Amino acid sequence: MRNPIGKKVVDIKPSGIRKFFDIVQETEGAISLGVGEPDFDTPWHIRDEGIYSLEKGRTFYTSNSGLKELRQEISNYIKRTQNVEYDPLKEIFVTVGGSEAIDLALRAMVDAGDEVLIPQPSYVSYEPCAILADAVPVTIELKEENQFRLTAEEVLEKVTDKTKILVLPFPNNPTGAVMTKEDLEAIAKVVIEKDLFVISDEIYGELTYSGEHVSIVSIPGMKERTILINGFSKAYAMTGWRLGYACGPEIIMKQMIKIHQFAIMCAPTTSQYAAVEALRNGDDDVKMMREQYNQRRRYLLNEFERIGLTCFEPFGAFYVFPSIKKFGMSSDEFCTRLLKEEKLAVVPGTAFGDCGEGYIRISYAYSLDNLKAAMERLERFISKL
Ligand SMILES: Cc1ncc(COP(=O)(O)O)c(C=O)c1O
């Protein structure tokens, strides 16, 4: 029998997060601070709306682009948070999580050999999706001395004649870094000058702890060049509902919807009804969860200082990214030993790109009690080194 598997797929490494957490499953008594998933239940009124839609028998496909009222709510939401207008009928469509939107944006926009700039450390899917789209991923190393923000100079350094897309992963997973308006203005200048497009993954846009999130689409000239990606997983604690969206120029949306139409048909109908409720009446829930995350974030930063772990202060998402360089171990070794010796699971920084070496990612999408127990273990571990 000849090889049934395509070479392109075989060559892609499996996610470093998943690989690590297979071990956690088998370790009894382990505490995990590894998963990037809210520990809150989806707020009840949102779940209730999903249930109601089922009771009403709304169990059919929606249009490929998603429910009109949901697209209208998404449009209203972006208008009220970023003061940018998207036509709900032509410039917005609903996807199966932000994940699908990332994949579709890349597939719709690149030709074989086009280069895609991917700042790292960052979320695990950009690089494989770029490769699957036959693009060439080009890494930009984010630096701790810049608080892991992306600078215009770093972009310029990597731009070639083949560069087509810049992925903008802020607020960032795994570092928690956020970009300021000034940072974005400088990036926008380069993007326009070099005739690039941006895929802006703003899935953590609602979870910022020092002022409101600024989207690059609010910078003049950038709405025309950007695919804005967001979703309901993180802000509304709706990971399992699998719902996200993409907003952008009609000419790009049309092609993305074409792939979505053939590969997916439409995002889950029940989830779409629930999401309308989330956007209409969910602001207070988001605020409550954000306050809790912020409390945990501050707790962890204080604890790190107390136990002697260096960490830059992150202002977004629900991750901290302390340095473990002073212990003279690789990230992988540190995490493997921490799990084995103290049954505490965190993620090696290298799961988010080679330049994550020397760091670990700790998620604070866990209760304060959990975090306290985890910090005891981390302190004990460090004191032995
Ligand atoms: C930065 C980032 N983007 C996108 C996603 C995908 O989220 P979803 O597909 O659940 O919307 C995640 C999930 O962890 C993420 O961290």
Q: Which atom of ligand 1 is nearest to the CA of 242?
A: 10
Is the confidence at residue 73, as pLDDT, over 70? yes
Domains of the chain, CATH where assigned: 7-42+284-384 (3.90.1150.10), 58-281 (3.40.640.10)
- Write the residue with the smallest CA distance to atom 14 of ligand 1: 36
Q: Which atom of ligand 1 is nearest to the CA of 100?
A: 9
Give distance in angstroms: CA of 256 to centre of ligand 1: 18
Q: Distance from the CA of 319 to the center of ligand 1, in angstroms? A: 13
For ligand 1, what atom is nearest to the CA of residue 102?
4
Q: Given ligand 1 and candidates 233, 264, 364, which is best to mutate, with the most ligand atoms within 8 Å of its CB?
A: 233
- Residue 210, helix vs strand vs coil: coil
- Bridge pairing between strands 244-247 and 226-231: antiparallel
- Name the pTM for this structure: 0.97
Distance 104 CA to ligand 1 centre (A): 14
Q: Which residues contact 102 (CB under 8 A, 6 or more apart)?
A: 125, 126, 129, 199, 201, 229
pLDDT at residue 21 is higher than 80: no
Query: CA angle, 49 as apex, 44 and 53 as ends, to 5°?
Result: 145
Q: How far is CA 67 from CA 86, 241, 269, in A?
A: 15, 15, 8
**153-171: average pLDDT:** 98
- Ligand 1 pocket list (CB less than 6 A): 36, 97-99, 123, 169, 173, 201, 203, 231, 233, 239, 244
Q: Bin 343: left if φ > 0, else alpha if -120 < ψ < 50, else beta.
A: left
Q: Which amino acid is at 102?
A: I
Average pLDDT of the chain is 96
Distance in Å, CA 98 to ligand 1 centroid: 6
Given a contact cutoff of 8 angstroms between Cβ atoms, the answer to whether 353 and 130 are in contact is no
pLDDT-derived band at 19, boundaries 50, 70, 90: low
The neighbour count for residue 109, using CB atoms within 10 Å, is 20
Name the pLDDT band for 13 (thresholds 50, 70, 90).
confident
- pLDDT > 90 fraction of the chain, expressed in percent and rounded: 93
Ligand 1 midpoint to CA 17 (Å)? 13
| pLDDT digit string, tens, across residues 106-153 | 999 999 999 999 999 999 999 999 999 999 999 999 999 999 999 999
- Residue 361: predicted pLDDT: 97
Q: Are 38 and 239 in contact (CB under 8 A)?
A: yes
Q: What is the pLDDT of residues 334-380, one digit of tens each?
A: 999 999 999 999 999 999 999 999 999 999 999 999 999 999 999 99
Q: Ligand 1: which atom is nearest the Cα of residue 231?
A: 11
Q: Look up residue 327 and give its two tokens.
A: 């212990």
For a pocket test of ligand 1, which of 123, 228, 232, 242 has the largest count of ligand atoms closer than 8 A to its C-beta?
Answer: 123
What integer pLDDT is reported at residue 24 of this predicted model?
80
Alpha carbons 289 and 295: distance in angstroms, whole number: 10
**Rounded distance from Cα 383 to ligand 1 centre (Å):** 35
Q: Which residue carries 């215009």 as its tokens?
A: 152
Report residue 104 as tokens. 């579709």
Peptide bond into 171 cis (omega under 30): yes
Query: Is 27 exposed, middle or buried (CB count within 10 Å of its CB: 0-12, 13-18, 19+)?
Result: middle
Contact 147, 170 (CB under 8 A): no
What per-residue confidence (pLDDT) applies to 15?
A: 79
Is-contact 342 381, C-beta < 8 A? yes
pLDDT range class, residue 35, cuts 50, 70, 90: confident
Residue nearest to atom 7 of ligand 1 (CA): 98
Cα(287) to centroid(ligand 1), Å = 20
* Closest atom of ligand 1 to CA, residue 243: 11
Nearest to 74 by CA among 255, 229, 269, 291: 229
Contacts of 151 (CB under 8 A, 6+ apart): 183, 186
Query: Two tokens at 305?
Result: 């200082």
Q: Helix 16-25 and helix 331-342: axis angle, to 10°? A: 10
Interaxial angle between packed helices 283-307 and 269-281, expressed in degrees from 0 to 180 and rounded to the nearest 10: 80
How far does the centroid of ligand 1 lie from the alpha carbon of residue 99, in Å?
A: 6
Report whether pLDDT(265) > 90: yes
Please report, in angstroms and rounded to a whole number, the separation of the first and last CA atoms in the chain. Answer: 52
